[in-house]
Structure 1
Amino acid sequence: MKSFICIFTLSLSFCAFGQTFHTDSIWFEHAHSYRKYKIWLPQDYDSTKRYQTIYCLDADLLFNSLVSSTEIYSFPDIAKMPPTIVVGLYFDQRNDDMGIESDKSQLNETGQAFIGLIKNQLIPEIENAYATSEYRAIVGHSNSSTFIQFFLWEEEPEFQGYLSMSEYELKKDTEHFCSLSLTHPIDFTFVSAKKDAPYRYDSGLKHEAILDSCQPSNFNYKHIILESADHLTMVPQGIPLGLEELYADYSSSLPNTDSLLKLIGSQNPVELMDSLVKMKADKYDAHASYNFTEIDILFELFVQTKDSANIHLATQKYAEIFQDSSEYFYEAQCLELMGANRAAEKAYLKHINYFPDPGVWSYKRLVWLYMSKVVNLDEALYWCEQGYNALQEEEFLELIRKIGKKDKKYQKKADKLVKQLSES
């Protein structure tokens, strides 16, 4: 009977804590019933960009933990993972759907049909609806971790990344792993727990020994052993650790600043950093995204090259990524380090005017600039007063006293201002 996709015309969507979830169902022709799936989109999802996709089976157990870890690791401040969409597929009759025939190291007719459901229905449905890249990963636990390995034995594996937790060994695993002939790299991370069922823990050790022995080409593997976890508690421990390993290439460190300075040549720092950040994203065919460390490096390169005229390019990059209106504060500090103090003054003033909730340091850095570099003690007193009125912090009164001590001509004015603010 011909397989076909049947999606409910009305799907359920909701947002919580800045996240977007969609729940829908797909028709499994072989079993004449629907299988539910759930999609998580990142808060800043943009259909003009590209996102790698992680699929997980056993979604009732794995989906929430996977979404939590993915959201944290793909958040711009951390960026241990490329921008990601997560899809969780739910079983109906779990072991029947997978159809693993352990004694024969194969899938029965239902299991093969379920592979087809994922390859020929679910993946095309997701990729037609969302801005996905060609890099896909899949996550399984317990029997579903064994099931996802059957994708590896295909001539062209559907997934490029695998996170397998609490798998068990099949008789033909040595033959299958050692006969892998991959034309493209595969990342394979498997997780074992010492307090799991002994045969599952032993299976992880045997798989490691098999892979160490035959070393299949284009197959990058890592075995994680959890000392204190059992069959279920390995999920919240294993998912974040597994994702770190699976996406280690994405989070690898850039060269140090001295090395980067040698690479700049005729480029400006943004052009150099854009090319390096893009390189780490190319493997995952996803849009490139800076993390906070890389933004710091970008500003540092502008400082080292003393390029005060173009540092606004770094400020724009910061604003595009973090969208928190604090970009002028970083620009101002860098301009100070370059000795471009008048430009730093303008940047601090922009920060205070544009940032919705200036803090103590927003005012203090500007006051210090007026006290020591752009010597203007009247402005220093004015911004101490503004800072105190906004935040009611005693340290602004102390700064006013220091200004009075710094220049005796300002002693009376400073004392009067302290008294006025203290009594207000």
Structure 2
Amino acid sequence: MKRLLTLMAILLPLLTYAQIKYESISSEKLGETRQLKIQLPRNYDENAEKRYPVVVVLDGDYLFEPVAGLIDYYSYWEDTPEMIVVGINQDGIRIDDTAYAENDFLPVEKGAKFFEFIGMELLAQLDQKYRTANFRIIVGHDFTSNFINYYLLKENPVFQGYINLSPDLAPEMANRITNALSTCEAKTWFYLATATDDIPALKEGIMGLDNQLKNIDNQNLNYKFDDFQDATHYSLVGKAIPSAIESMFKIYRPISRKDYNEILLQTSVSPSEYLAEKYNSIEELYGLERQISVNDFMAIYNAIEKTRNWEEYKSLYKMANEHYPGTMLGTFFEARYEEETGNPKRAMRIYQNAYGQKKIAFLDTDYMLEKAEAIKKDFGY
């Protein structure tokens, strides 16, 4: 019993993070009420100034949980931003929701109303009720996957990311998608997945679409395609969702060992400029102002030490002071700059000035004072 209580004490805080909200939304377009599942980011209430991208998941009755769970997992490790995930339940009505006309193959009847419900009602209400950022992703599977691409055909699409899980493509949809992605003027992420054991008729159309999309030359398009081995129409979902999320937020992830070795250790590259450009790109692409992570600062620090490009510390300590004011991070980088550019006495004083500042990473008062003492001993100050 004691072990059970201990286990519950450990798990209960985690369970509170995973709580899901169930809401109803009344739609004038549909003339009915629709059921939603909503996962808010961890500590949403505490971070009162923070805004979050939105992920709309069709077939929310079975797709919501895998999408929401993976986004929560990736954002916990800072591989993606935290996001608001909204699932629309469509159990038993997905065919009506995704109906298209037989003449022009565009949404019709209930399908047209459902299209307007998402684009004109749901997103507007989410923006009013929650702190949303201007970056949206939509996810669908077979019929609903075909449906999500109708938003791509609008002049100013309301979604920037499209996760297509084995789409059941309407006639002309492949050509329409290709034309839209070839000419898109805003950054767009498009993911497409099938599998070796996918439904043959669907796979034929998906492979044909991939042949068209992989030849598009448009810098605004970020396209990824997966053909999973030994997966079915249903099991591919579990493999595709993480692949799609990773591809859409590649630049958001912390600096990888591969980037460190292949980019930062090249003497022709400015590590500090690389860091600044990485976070500027995150803001431009996703509309998110993100604090530079301590791990990324440490990656740049190690690269400077390896390449002995000491001038890089000038920009780095300014960025560190901006992102982590009151800590020892900027102080340490500034002292290293002075130490390696012929100003040991100034470096010693800067190390000493760290006394009273907040510790961060491996930097604490003892370490900084030891650095100051080492200079004092070496130079006899």
Q: TM-score, normalised by structure 1?
A: 0.65
Instruction: Describe the shift of the 1:207–1:196 C-alpha distance in structure 2 as closer, same or farther (beyond 3 A).
Output: same
Which blocks of at least 5 consecutive residues in structure 1 are unaligned?
Answer: 1-13, 263-268, 321-326, 376-424
Instruction: Describe the shift of the 1:330–1:19 C-alpha distance in structure 2 as closer, same or farther (beyond 3 A).
Output: farther
**Deviation readout 1:173-223 (Å, 9 max, x if unpaired):** 244234434342322111112122222222221111232466678544221
The yes-or-no answer on 1:185 pairing with 2:187 is yes
Instruction: Describe the shift of the 1:329–1:150 C-alpha distance in structure 2 as closer, same or farther (beyond 3 A).
Output: closer
Larger radius of gyration: 1
> Could you tell me which residue of structure 2 aligns to residue 317 of structure 1?
323
SS of 2:292 mapped into structure 1 = coil
> Could you tell me which residue of structure 1 aligns to residue 27 of structure 2?
28
Tell me how many residue pairs correspond in the alignment.
342
User: Could you tell me whether the CA contact under 8 Å between 1:20 and 1:43 is conserved in 2?
Assistant: no
**Alpha-carbon distance between aligned partners in 1 of 2:330 and 2:96, rounded to the nearest angstrom:** 54
Q: How is 1:125-204 mapped onto 2 (pairs within 5 angstroms)?
A: 125-180=125-180, 181-204=183-206
Instruction: Describe the shift of the 1:110–1:72 C-alpha distance in structure 2 as closer, same or farther (beyond 3 A).
Output: same
> Could you tell me which residue of structure 1 aligns to residue 37 of structure 2?
38
User: Could you tell me whether the CA contact under 8 Å between 2:98 and 2:144 is conserved in 1?
Assistant: no
**Alpha-carbon distance between aligned partners in 1 of 2:203 and 2:331, rounded to the nearest angstrom:** 52
CA deviation after TM superposition for structure 1 residue 107, in Å = 2.3
SS of 2:250 mapped into structure 1 = coil
SS of 1:226 mapped into structure 2 = strand
**Root-mean-square deviation (CA), in Å?**
4.3
**Alpha-carbon distance between aligned partners in 2 of 1:197 and 1:259, rounded to the nearest angstrom:** 50
Residue type at the aligned position of 2:34: R
Instruction: Describe the shift of the 1:143–1:289 C-alpha distance in structure 2 as closer, same or farther (beyond 3 A).
Output: farther
Instruction: Describe the shift of the 1:301–1:248 C-alpha distance in structure 2 as closer, same or farther (beyond 3 A).
Output: closer
**Alpha-carbon distance between aligned partners in 1 of 2:336 and 2:212, rounded to the nearest angstrom:** 58
User: Could you tell me whether the CA contact under 8 Å between 2:145 and 2:167 is conserved in 1?
Assistant: yes
**Alpha-carbon distance between aligned partners in 1 of 2:218 and 2:332, rounded to the nearest angstrom:** 52
CA deviation after TM superposition for structure 1 residue 57, in Å = 0.8
SS of 1:238 mapped into structure 2 = helix
> Could you tell me which residue of structure 2 aligns to residue 279 of structure 1?
281
**Alpha-carbon distance between aligned partners in 1 of 2:121 and 2:14, rounded to the nearest angstrom:** 26
**Deviation readout 1:79-113 (Å, 9 max, x if unpaired):** 3x344222211125332442324855332210110
> Could you tell me which residue of structure 2 aligns to residue 5 of structure 1?
none
> Could you tell me which residue of structure 1 aligns to residue 70 of structure 2?
69
The yes-or-no answer on 1:84 pairing with 2:83 is yes
Instruction: Describe the shift of the 1:137–1:214 C-alpha distance in structure 2 as closer, same or farther (beyond 3 A).
Output: same
Residue type at the aligned position of 2:264: N
Which blocks of at least 5 consecutive residues in structure 2 are unaligned?
Answer: 1-12, 341-346
User: Could you tell me whether the CA contact under 8 Å between 2:349 and 2:372 is conserved in 1?
Assistant: no
> Could you tell me which residue of structure 1 aligns to residue 50 of structure 2?
49
SS of 1:192 mapped into structure 2 = strand
**Alpha-carbon distance between aligned partners in 2 of 1:345 and 1:28, rounded to the nearest angstrom:** 64
Q: How is 1:22-421 mapped onto 2 (pairs within 5 angstroms)?
A: 22-29=21-28, 31-45=30-44, 46-75=47-76, 77-79=77-79, 81-101=80-100, 104=103, 105-180=105-180, 181-212=183-214, 218-251=220-253, 256=264, 258-259=267-268, 261=270, 273-274=275-276, 276-291=278-293, 293-300=295-302, 304-305=310-311, 314=320, 317=323
SS of 1:227 mapped into structure 2 = strand
Instruction: Describe the shift of the 1:143–1:350 C-alpha distance in structure 2 as closer, same or farther (beyond 3 A).
Output: same
User: Could you tell me whether the CA contact under 8 Å between 2:321 and 2:329 is conserved in 1?
Assistant: no
CA deviation after TM superposition for structure 1 residue 242, in Å = 0.8
Residue type at the aligned position of 1:34: T
User: Could you tell me whether the CA contact under 8 Å between 1:37 and 1:87 is conserved in 2?
Assistant: yes
CA deviation after TM superposition for structure 1 residue 291, in Å = 4.1
| Farther-moved stretch of structure 1 (207-216 vs 236-245) | 207-216
